[in-house]
Structure 1
Amino acid sequence: MIGGGHPSLLVTLDGMAGAGKTTTVRLLGPHLRNMGYRVHTTAEPTSDMLGELARHNTDLYRAESLACLVAADRYHHLETEIEPHLQEGEIVVCDRYIASSYVLQQLDGVPLAFVDALNSRARRPDLAVLLVTDPAVAASRVAVRGAHDRFQGGISASKAEAGMYSAAASYLSRLGTPAVLVIDTTNQELRQVVETIAQRIADRLAEPSRYPNDQGANA
């Protein structure tokens, strides 16, 4: 607990295209504020120069070059936005983070060891939320809204993502991420999803181990 006694927590939302990440983040911010928390929502890739390069040039940059761009944007994001808001005692909710790199960069042919090394110095989330859904449902949702990049589109892409995000959840846990929450959004209203995440955030903040000896240490 830092920033004048307010709770701080880094919560990340990753998951399959069509699982509802961005809408969930948009609903989660106000929901947490209504619960009395100070909240900052953000996203990766960011709207800064590095993030714009990574987001809009996936056809130009591929494999290791794209992985490096994404990681560079993440470190800049941590330095200039995420860490300062955490220091102010806010809950930071980020749409996409390390789990997305594990999945998308591996789908792009980059070995896990390379992705892991690139992100080894990035702050680990206090709560990593992964949203999954039935691949057929995900593919249908993406088809309706339109693909955002070359990683999206078609049932085969959704099936690949589903398997990779399941593996990413296990990998995050093995790396020592304090809390990993996987939610299947296939048959859930997003407001239910938001309530589930909000309750897990409240539980996470209430864990005595987060503040050993009441000195405000981060988990």
Structure 2
Amino acid sequence: MTLKSSGLFVTLDGPGGVGKSTALELSAVQLDNAGALVHTTVEPSRASLGYLARHGTETYQGRELACLIAADRYHHVRTEVQPALDQGYVVLCDRYIASSLVLQRLDGVDQQMIWELNRHVLRPDLSVILTAAPGVIAKRLQARGAHSRFERMHDNSAREATLFTEAATFLQEAGFHTLVIDCTTRSPAQVAEAVSHEITALLTGR
């Protein structure tokens, strides 16, 4: 999938509890206030495939879940992301390829297989990966509550933090424009400001 458009495609990934969704929402507000057209979305998507993937993590595992999530991603891009980009929107997506490179590895799937399933999906203009000290993430996750079996795994925060660092390196080596932000001591507003600043630079640099 090689379509591009006048819009800008930005993805945000990171361990559960790192503050990703909050940062995305605040970034959207900041960009909207600056006059940008903004469309927010999430993966797994809100379509039927995405619903199955999101609520089926107790039923589907390993390769079957990896294939389900990849199928939803291709459908999501075709039916929601690309149309918004064609209309000139900045599309902010909560989770994308980096999350697959982490969560499916936690589920025992080989990294190369994960990449093969996702390598032809639309490449983001900017891949943001949020990180934080595992102890900080664990406390936030405990306060928020686990949303999936991945977040209930033993020593999940430390394992996710390590794998997201590896995913960032993998994507950078694959040529992705990647921004890694350490959220250990930054507030959600500061994280959003860093994201919005990078997006604004990309928009004004065109």
Q: What TM-score do you get using the length of structure 2 for normalisation?
A: 0.95
For 1:130, the equivalent position in structure 2 comes to: 129
Give 1:154 shift: 6.5
Distance 1:136 1:155, change over 3 A: farther
CA–CA distance in structure 1, aligned partners of residues 72 and 111 of structure 2: 19
| Structure 2, unpaired ranges of 5+ | none
**Are 1:201 and 2:199 an aligned pair?**
yes
Distance 1:58 1:159, change over 3 A: same
Give 1:156 shift: 1.2
Give the conservation status (yes or no) of the 8 Å contact 1:25–1:93. yes
Residue-pair matches, total:
203
For 2:11, the equivalent position in structure 1 comes to: 12
CA–CA distance in structure 1, aligned partners of residues 20 and 50 of structure 2: 18
Question: How big is each residue's C-alpha offset from its partner over 1:158-180, in whole Å with a ceiling of 9 and x where there is no partner?
Answer: 11001100011111111111x21
Question: How big is each residue's C-alpha offset from its partner over 1:38-69, in whole Å with a ceiling of 9 and x where there is no partner?
Answer: 11000000121111111111111000000011
For 1:114, the equivalent position in structure 2 comes to: 113
- SS of 1:93's equivalent in the other structure is strand
Out of 77-86 and 45-54, give the one that drifted further: 45-54
CA–CA distance in structure 2, aligned partners of residues 90 and 52 of structure 1: 24
Give the conservation status (yes or no) of the 8 Å contact 1:24–1:190. yes
Work out which of the two has the higher radius of gyration on C-alpha atoms and give 1 or 2.
1
Distance 1:159 1:110, change over 3 A: same
- Select the structure with the greater relative contact order (CA < 8 A; seq sep ≥ 6): 2
| Structure 1, unpaired ranges of 5+ | 209-219
For 2:147, the equivalent position in structure 1 comes to: 148
Matched ranges for 1:21-170 at <5 A: 21-153=20-152, 156-170=155-169
For 2:173, the equivalent position in structure 1 comes to: 174
Question: How big is each residue's C-alpha offset from its partner over 1:99-130, in whole Å with a ceiling of 9 and x where there is no partner?
Answer: 00000001100001110111011011100000
- SS of 2:59's equivalent in the other structure is coil
- SS of 1:85's equivalent in the other structure is helix
% identity of equivalent residues: 47
